[in-house]
Structure 1
């Protein structure tokens, strides 16, 4: 059996080095059978773009072509034959960085970068340098384009299962095409739910939203949410997980639950995202924050019952006031009648005398 897709089976061993970070995924039953003596490293070649670079970074114009190279060092005791390819990058579901496998179509870096050879054999203890060219299309869009160049070793599982184990080692390529640059994050699909039936009590508020990189630069970000009851009662601000580095066009979903929220008839939620830009030197800068708000009624029926209760209470108070006024009026009328009768009786007595 040959595993044709790198990320489909637990029988695949992937070793990926991108921007100086090594990620190893060890399969459940193939790691022990893989030849652990086979090992190699990659690094950026010495060129006019510098030495000792942790990754390839370029600032180019549309239509420009550049040439660079990747050094491959066989640190193991055996000869190895490696495949080379370039592909576009993407942010994984856990917030890491990865590049597309060869069976996926690339439209950016993966389509622009061409290694000088598609396959290379490296003797044990030796190093080779493979040049590559990057041809930026005339119609390339301004902004950041991210991908990588990767070496791949295909190994048959020694257990005889027929499985092919793919091991990848590569370097990240970051390219900025000159032109109008826009760094922008947008908050989308903001939803606020409240779990609680007492319109004047407390409950759990759940807020969810999507942050979309609608600009053309790579951006991270800081997130926070403010939850409050009606009229701002019991306002709570919670810090949310930091946004990973989102490539242009990518989105990231966030969901959080806040306990002990005072409803006060309705609940409001406000999300604030502060974009963070990282330059080529690794320095970061915060941009102007973006916000979005939402509101939800605690419970339609509890709200209706509360209004009915308030109206009923008002009606009861009004009724009591009316009854009291009538009783007072009747009492006053009786007193006045008694006084009038007493006066009349007194006058009659004087007349009779």
Structure 2
């Protein structure tokens, strides 16, 4: 299995990521004196959690369904686990798929155009005394022309120390905007590169590369399969097990490179990639959709065989020429 290559995202999404640590709520954690479920890093002096209200208590993250033009209010709880007062910036941000295949949030100075632009905190910062919990209300307000589909973002708390190092802790927000869902994946830039073998009668290796593009309006994961075959489907060879892609937000892309062993150099081969889109809802249930298949073609020149034929032809020609000279000498 190959290491996946980074997704294609807007340059602003990775702006200043080298000095930022963003953690999204995934597991329940009880900070000192905290009531709600919270996200925390043992190296940080604070934790964050969801407020307990009509949306529920001890939520691991935020999940909403709103129609265009809709509006709701919720809250973020900040827990100071340290022994000194803590002053944190608070803001919302769009999500993206990181180079490691995980959902992350754009930096504060990167412009959010989706969910991060629709969430507004009641204040830009918060101060918590030692062992104190403070709630920061926020509002989700959708524009009237918000496009249907799924969006991902988060509420972030940020601390910058005297050395300029920025640490962040946040909770994920998943939003479904009412309207028709259109899940769709496509394969772009499919290529097959063949590497021959020095054995004239042996098999070579091929590398299948392609880009998965989430062209729909839902969050999707792709189950993948790849194969290489000769003319009329003969000599078909499948790639090994390929891991599912990470969750891809609408518009995201993910580059893949897969080795295929034991490919017969049949002059012209076909490379086929099959994707099964997987819809994963907020409760983590998985629903597979109809498979998407894409094929391309490539030449696999058996150079070792051609070289062997050239040598044999040369020997035959040389033998015939020698035979003619001997006949001429015998006359």
Q: Give the TM-score of the pair, scaled to structure 1.
A: 0.75
- Flag structure 2 segments of 5+ consecutive residues without an equivalent: 1-14, 29-41, 314-331
Match of 1:145 in 2: 151
List aligned pairs for 1:257-296, cutoff 5 A: 257-296=259-298
> Greater Rg, structure 1 or structure 2?
1
**Deviation digits for residues 216-272 of structure 1 (CA, Å, limit 9, x no counterpart):** 000012101012233333322222221100000000000111122112222221101
Question: Does the 8 A contact of 2:201 with 2:305 survive in 1?
Answer: no
Q: In the alignment, what sits opposite 1:80?
A: 86
Residue matched to 2:328: none
Q: Aligned in 2, Cα 1:307/1:273: closer, same or farther, shift over 3 Å?
A: farther
Could you tell me how far 1:283 is from its partner in structure 2?
0.7
Superposed, 1:291-302 pairs within 5 Å as 291-299=293-301
Corresponding residue for residue 195 of structure 1: 195
RMSD: 2.5
1:341 maps to none
Q: Which moved more, 1:212-221 or 1:201-210?
A: 201-210
Q: Do residues 61 (structure 1) and 77 (structure 2) align?
A: no
Number of residue-to-residue matches in the alignment: 283
Find out whether 1:178 has 2:188 as its counterpart: no
Distance 1:306 1:58, change over 3 A: farther
After superposition, residues 191-230 of structure 1 pair within 5 angstroms as 191-196=191-196, 201-230=202-231
Q: Does 1:114 align with 2:116?
A: no
Name the counterpart of 1:159: none
Contact 1:69 1:132 in 2 (8 A): yes
Counterpart position of 2:140: 134
Alignment of 1:158-173 (within 5 A): 163-173=163-173
1:244 aligns with 246
Q: How does 1:44-59 map to 2 (within 5 A)?
A: 44-59=50-65
C-alpha deviation, 1:39, in angstroms? 0.9
Q: Which runs of 5+ in 1 are unaligned?
A: 23-35, 157-162, 313-353
Q: Sort the Cα spacing of 1:100 and 1:75 in 2 relative to 1 into closer, same or farther, 3 A.
A: same
Matched, 1:98 2:104: yes
SS of structure 2 residue aligned to 1:254: strand
TM-score by length of 2: 0.79
Counterpart Cα distance in 2 of 1:37 and 1:193: 46
Give 1:308 shift.
10
Counterpart Cα distance in 2 of 1:144 and 1:225:
29
Moved more, 240-249 or 193-202: 193-202
Displacement, 1:199? Answer: 8.3
Instruction: Tell me, in whole angstroms, the C-alpha distance in 1 between the residues paired with 2:16 and 2:27.
Output: 19
Bigger relative contact order, structure 1 or 2, given CA contacts below 8 A and separation 6+? 2
The question of whether the paired residues in 1 share the 8 Å contact of 2:265 and 2:302 is answered with no
* CA distance, structure 1, for counterparts of residue 192 and residue 125 of structure 2: 53
Per the alignment, residue 48 of structure 2 pairs with 42
More helix by share: 1
Q: Any idea what the Cα deviations from partners look like across 1:149-193, whole Å, max 9, x if unmatched?
A: 00001111xxxxxx3111101000110100111011011111011
